[in-house]
Structure 1
């Protein structure tokens, strides 16, 4: 698993880490049952604080993307509640679409962009 952190970004490090793991799941680079590196190992590998990795893993667990076991560590576990995921997606899309409308992005351009992105996640 390759994680790239942008230390110049305004986005929080734990958010970047979470998003990269979620993208790994969506693109099938990470599969159900795959173990994630230990908190200490991942923190050392990418050069961030262990508490940052721990926060990302904890939030991923809360969102249903990983399970955490003392013996096995963090493991990809796709037990996401679809209704909750749909509501979160709807909220995020509202903001993204509002930004697009402010920049005169057309409905057709949005549909094309969504199809392009979803094609990246086809399994």
Structure 2
């Protein structure tokens, strides 16, 4: 799986890395039971600090997407977790900001929903 980090982006590196790994899991580039590179190896491969990778792996573990085993390292879990009320509130907040910005840039509801459907359908498994 190719992970590309944009070091000029305002999005934190750990979030970019998390998003890349989540997409890899969703698209089956990373399969259930597959090992991710060690923290040291991943950090070296993409040119970031080990703490950044460690933070990413811990967030993925909290989300139930990987398991961390002391002997085997980080393993793709793919246990789908039900969305919590906390997650739904965060989703609404994020979407609210995106909708406001889109509306200010002249994107109407139909166009916005078309974009959402197009993107959502890319990942429907």
Give your verdict on TM over 0.5: yes
**Could you tell me how far apart the structure 2 residues matched to 1:81 and 1:45 are?**
30
| Corresponding residue for residue 91 of structure 1 | 93
Using the TM superposition, give the Cα deviation of residue 32 of structure 1 relative to its aligned residue in structure 2, in angstroms: 2.1
Using the TM superposition, give the Cα deviation of residue 64 of structure 1 relative to its aligned residue in structure 2, in angstroms: 1.6
| Corresponding residue for residue 22 of structure 2 | 22
Return 81-90 or 94-103, whichever deviates more: 81-90
Return 54-63 or 93-102, whichever deviates more: 93-102
Using the TM superposition, give the Cα deviation of residue 30 of structure 1 relative to its aligned residue in structure 2, in angstroms: 1.8
| Corresponding residue for residue 61 of structure 1 | 61
Using the TM superposition, give the Cα deviation of residue 5 of structure 1 relative to its aligned residue in structure 2, in angstroms: 1.1
Give the SS at the match of 1:83.
Answer: coil
| Corresponding residue for residue 108 of structure 2 | 106
Structure 2 unaligned regions, length at least 5: none
What is the root-mean-square deviation in Å for CA atoms of aligned residues? Answer: 1.6
Count, aligned residues? 123
TM-score by length of 2: 0.87
**Could you tell me how far apart the structure 2 residues matched to 1:55 and 1:112 are?**
34
TM-score by length of 1: 0.88
